Amino acid sequence: RKEVEQDPGPFNVPEGATVAFNCTYSNSASQSFFWYRQDCRKEPKLLMSVYSSGNEDGRFTAQLNRASQYISLLIRDSKLSDSATYLCAVKSGGGKLIFGQGTELSVKP
């Protein structure tokens, strides 16, 4: 079993739709959780850190469920510019970031 697993993509949604991504992790000792956005042939860019209390940044909401070992990302009112690959990442001991395989989102007009 992979240490971090994500929904397989791609997600094709119309503009304005709400889309949710889930990510599960296997190491219960994981300490920090993140969502990254990666555009084609570019490096990943940090979208949000994920906290136990949940956090929101504009149209993006991230949540962490430690008991079930998953994190989620909700995008409301999706824009064409949201089209990208979304990677969840989990930090384990030693500061290593373990990434999920990514979920491709395509927002259509």
Interacting residue ranges for another protein, rule: CB under 8 A: 32, 41-46, 49, 87, 91, 94-102
* CB-nearer residue toward another protein: 66 or 79: 66
**Shortest Å distance, C-beta 102 to another protein:** 6
**Shortest Å distance, C-beta 16 to another protein:** 27
* CB-nearer residue toward another protein: 17 or 27: 27
Alpha-carbon 18 to chain mean position: 14
Task: Determine the length of the chain.
Answer: 109
* CB-nearer residue toward another protein: 41 or 68: 41
Tell me how far apart the alpha carbons of residues 2 and 50 are, in angstroms, rounded to a whole number: 20
**Shortest Å distance, C-beta 37 to another protein:** 11
**Residue 93, beta-bridge partner list:** none
* CB-nearer residue toward another protein: 40 or 67: 40
Cβ(69)–Cβ(52) below 8 Å: no
16 φ, ψ to 5°? 90, -10
Strand order in the sheet with 55-57: 4-6, 19-25, 70-75, 60-65, 55-57
